Amino acid sequence: MQIIIKEYDKRDQEQIKDLFDLSFEKEGLLSIVKSSSFKFAYSAIAEDKLVGVVFGWSSSFHPYCTYFKILSNPLYALSGVVEKLLSKVESLETIDSPLQTSIWETSIHLKNVYEKSEFKEIRRTYMPILQVADFKEELVPFSEKDHMLKTLSEISSSNELMEKLVLLVKRNYEETHKANPVVVTGLEEWKNLVLANDVIVKGSFVFLDTCGNDILAYSFLHESEDEHSYELGWCGSSSS
């Protein structure tokens, strides 16, 4: 079967919904094509049917790699759709940084293709859904006399504690993203990330030491795209 790779055309959107459904991806990915971070997009056509697509984009926060995502119809897996799209991306002379993508654990074919092309796994992300109604009240395993648990809202007015929190968040994030470093930026920019518009300051917590001077751990809660859900964001602790 002949697979034709061509530049993505807006007319392909008429067929692309099926690819999103088959790949368990959200159609919000299409917004990349209209954004300033967009780099490339190609379609795979077989018998006048859209059987695969690849999008590529950059990130101002992680500027040292090129992100891409391949979606394909699993019925055409043996026709080399993914391989041809990946080969097209790798041949682009405009790409001068490492390629990075993400896949679902169940995407065995994609995983095999990437490994054969010498891609390396650098991170696994687990996304459980926790039903708050199922939680039982439990005893906190520490005495409130010995440690302090405060909301992000409570410490945001303290310049000293906020600076310590931002430094800790920055250090932990940079340490866990050495394979794909972040852009060099100042503490004020990191503070804006910690206090992002979608963060719920009264539902985000900071664990302090006995004197309330040092930050031991943190956990941030965020608004979600889903009306009845919240999202856990950055969580971390000090080296101690």
What pLDDT, in 10s, does the model give residues 156-183? Answer: 999 999 999 999 999 999 999 999 999 9
Residue 152 banded pLDDT, cuts 50, 70, 90 = very high
Q: Are 170 and 187 in contact (CB under 8 A)?
A: yes
Q: Are 57 and 16 in contact (CB under 8 A)?
A: no
What is the side-by-side strand order in the sheet with 230-237? Answer: 148-151, 205-208, 215-223, 230-237
3-state secondary structure of 206: strand
List the one residue out of 222, 237, 60 whose CA is nearest residue 165.
Answer: 237
Query: Residue 145: is its pLDDT beyond 80?
Result: no
pTM of the model: 0.84
Q: What is the mean pLDDT of residues 229-240?
A: 91
Can you state the angle between helices 187-194 and 159-176, rounded to 10 degrees? 90
Query: Residue 154: is its pLDDT beyond 70?
Result: yes
Rounded to a whole number of angstroms, the distance between the first and last alpha carbons of the chain is 59
Between 204-208, 220-224, 236-240, the lowest mean confidence (pLDDT) is in 236-240
Query: Residue 21: is its pLDDT beyond 90?
Result: no
Could you read off the pLDDT of 42-89 as tens digits, one per residue? 999 998 899 999 999 999 999 999 999 999 998 888 899 999 999 999
Q: Give pLDDT, residue 5.
A: 95
Could you read off the pLDDT of 82-140 as tens digits, one per residue? 999 999 999 999 998 999 999 999 899 999 999 999 999 999 998 889 888 887 776 56
Burial 61-97 (b: 16+ CB within 10 A, else e): eeeebbbbbbbbbeebbebbbbbbbbebbeeeeebee
Both tokens of residue 99? 């390629």
Query: Residue 146: is its pLDDT beyond 80?
Result: no
For the chain, what are the domain ranges?
Answer: 4-116, 132-237
In this structure, what is the dihedral angle of CA atoms 90, 93, 95, 101, given to the nearest 10 degrees? -20
Query: Residue 28: is its pLDDT beyond 90?
Result: no
List the one residue out of 207, 191, 115, 112 whose CA is nearest residue 154.
Answer: 207
CATH superfamily of 4-116: Gcn5-related N-acetyltransferase (GNAT) (3.40.630.30)
